[in-house]
């Protein structure tokens, strides 16, 4: 049996994905039309200041000189990795402003310190200064802390948390919600004839979310989640989890392992080494698998859903050329968000909720996405098969909403 190591984590469960068209600096096109409605300057909600009203000077780092002021809330002085991630998001925003044109927005970067108190203060200050919208914060607790002030003025927020519970009307999450990638993997598998699935999941909140979505998706597609096992991060726990569902695995079409790092290979190897034949079973995963060793023989032929890596890699190459370091996937969310808001601002009338909720969605470096009225995000993911140690696209990410993936 393989020695257990704690799996790597990408932010937002992938971690942990503008045209409605975002021009993306001329580097990317899309056949989704830019679907933001034309306006006559009326917002459809109450903004704290009219765009043509005198504004007080902004507090924070100012990027751009546009008529529409937007605040970007980041944990620039936060503890741990928070400040590093914040620096990446700010760099991504700067790259987006370069591409969109410095005259499209006045982007004001504000430091939350990574705390709820800091998030509340930064959001309140942004409103006082006449921000048409707030981008960020990053952490779910900070999103919740900033929400009351923004909802009181119906000022939209586009935050980067992957906690679905942090979303609400007018508080949108441009992130990778775990439910979406689970749904994409299992829906595709069902379309290929998979009807019965056994899930082997980590203990904790991530496992809870994966189980709930797996049950819902399998029921929706006419299949069944026939058994579930949970494990902690040690060899004995994995062994016991595998043995507890051994009979169910033998009669199932597929085994679903949504965790990353060493988890997928360890679990599949444990099954084979304890006499469970999985040679005729489809192994299924999620975008967490980008942190796994896909060269492991145990994972060959497996399927998993993830963002369109070709687009993401284009973004990463541009970021590295500009800033000299490889960025995280999370930073691409900030790029897409700033370009989206800049394109909306070009139409006049500020950043409006009905424009953000356009049903045709947007296309960016993180792929196709759209905001729902409840603040959650739908995304278009590609499906990959592990072949010769590398992920190969077997079902491309969609280019528009409305049809099957």
DSSP string, 51-101: TTS--PPPSSEEE---SSEEEEEE-TT-TTTHHHHHHHHHHHHHHHHHHH-
Shared-domain flag, residues 73 and 163: yes
Domain range for 219 is 179-306+385-393
H or E element that contains 316: helix 309-323
How far apart are alpha carbons 143 and 363 in whole angstroms? Answer: 24
CATH code: domain of residue 222? 3.40.50.2300
Write the CA distances from 43 to 21, 193, 355, integer angstroms: 21, 48, 10
Q: Lowest-pLDDT range, 52-56, 264-268, 291-295?
A: 52-56
- 27-52 residue pLDDT tens: 333 333 232 223 333 333 334 344 44
33 with 160, same domain?
yes
Tell me if residue 30 falls in helix, strand or coil. Answer: coil
Whether residue 330 is found in the same domain as residue 254: no
pLDDT one-digit tens code per residue, 162-219: 999 999 999 999 999 999 999 999 999 999 999 999 999 999 999 999 999 999 999 9
Confidence of residue 348 (pLDDT cuts 50, 70, 90): confident
88 with 222, same domain: the answer is no
Mean pLDDT of the region 50-75: 86
pLDDT in tens, 292-318: 999 999 999 999 999 999 999 999 999
| Same-domain check for residues 33 and 170 | yes
Q: Average pLDDT over the chain, rounded to whole? A: 88
Cis previous bond, 148, omega within 30: no
Same domain, 169 and 314: yes
Q: How many domains does the chain have?
A: 2
Decide if pLDDT at 357 tops 70.
yes
pLDDT in tens, 104-123: 999 999 999 999 999 999 99
Residues 221 and 285 occupy one common structural domain: yes
What pLDDT, on a 0 to 100 scale, did the predictor assign at position 54? 59
pTM: 0.85
Residues 361, 365, 367, 368, Cα dihedral to 10°: 10
pLDDT classification of 53: cutoffs 50, 70, 90: low
DSSP code at position 165: G
Residue 219 is classified by DSSP as H
Question: What does R_g of the chain's alpha carbons equal in angstroms?
Answer: 22
Per-residue pLDDT at 31? 34
pLDDT of amino acid 347: 87
Residue 98 sits in the same domain as residue 214? no
- My answer on whether 134 and 78 are in the same domain is yes
Residue 116 has a pLDDT of 98
Q: Is 342 helix (H, G, I), strand (E, B) or coil?
A: helix
**Do 30 and 172 reside in the same domain of the chain?**
yes
191 within a domain of the structure (yes/no): yes
Phi, psi of 362 (to 5 degrees): -140, 155
Q: Identify the pLDDT of residue 9.
A: 36
**Domain assignment present for 127:** yes
User: Do 240 and 228 lie in a common domain?
Assistant: yes
Q: 70 with 165, same domain?
A: yes
């Amino acid at each position: 049996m393989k020695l257990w190591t704690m799996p790597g984590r990408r932010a937002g469960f992938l971690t942990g994905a503008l045209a409605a068209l975002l021009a993306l600096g001329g580097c990317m096109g899309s056949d989704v039309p830019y679907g933001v409605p034309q306006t006559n300057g009326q917002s459809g909600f109450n903004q704290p200041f009219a765009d043509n009203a005198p504004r007080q000077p902004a507090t924070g780092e100012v990027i751009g000189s546009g008529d529409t002021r937007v605040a970007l809330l980041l944990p620039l002085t936060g503890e741990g990795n928070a400040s590093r991630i914040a620096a990446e998001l700010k760099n991504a925003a700067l790259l987006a402003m370069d591409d969109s044109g410095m005259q499209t927005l006045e982007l004001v970067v504000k430091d939350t310190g990574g705390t709820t108190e800091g998030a509340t203060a930064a959001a309140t200050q942004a409103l006082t200064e006449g921000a048409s919208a707030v981008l960020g914060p990053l952490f779910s607790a900070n999103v919740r802390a900033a929400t009351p002030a923004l909802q009181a003025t119906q000022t939209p927020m586009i935050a980067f948390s992957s906690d679905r519970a942090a979303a609400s009307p007018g508080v949108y999450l441009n992130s990778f919600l775990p439910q979406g990638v689970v749904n994409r993997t299992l829906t595709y598998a069902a379309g290929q004839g998979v009807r019965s699935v056994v899930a082997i999941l980590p203990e904790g909140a991530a496992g809870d979310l994966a189980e709930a979505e797996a049950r819902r998706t399998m029921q929706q597609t006419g299949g069944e989640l026939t058994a579930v096992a949970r494990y902690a991060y040690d060899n004995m726990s994995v062994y016991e989890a595998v043995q507890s569902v051994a009979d169910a695995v033998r009669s199932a079409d597929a085994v679903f392992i949504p965790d990353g790092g060493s988890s997928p290979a360890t679990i599949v190897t444990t099954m084979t080494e304890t006499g469970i034949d999985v040679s005729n079973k489809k192994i299924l995963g999620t975008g967490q698998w980008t942190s796994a060793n896909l060269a492991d023989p145990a994972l060959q032929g497996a399927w998993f859903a993830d963002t369109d890596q070709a687009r993401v890699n284009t973004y990463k190459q541009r970021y590295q050329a500009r800033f000299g370091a490889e960025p995280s996937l999370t930073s691409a969310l900030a790029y897409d968000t700033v370009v989206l808001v800049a394109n909306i601002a070009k139409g006049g009338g500020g950043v409006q909720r009905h424009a953000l909720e356009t049903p045709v969605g947007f296309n960016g470096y993180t792929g196709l996405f759209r905001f729902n009225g409840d603040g959650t995000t739908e995304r278009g993911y590609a499906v990959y098969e592990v072949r010769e140690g590398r992920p190969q696209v077997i079902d491309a990410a969609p280019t528009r909403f409305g049809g099957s993936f």
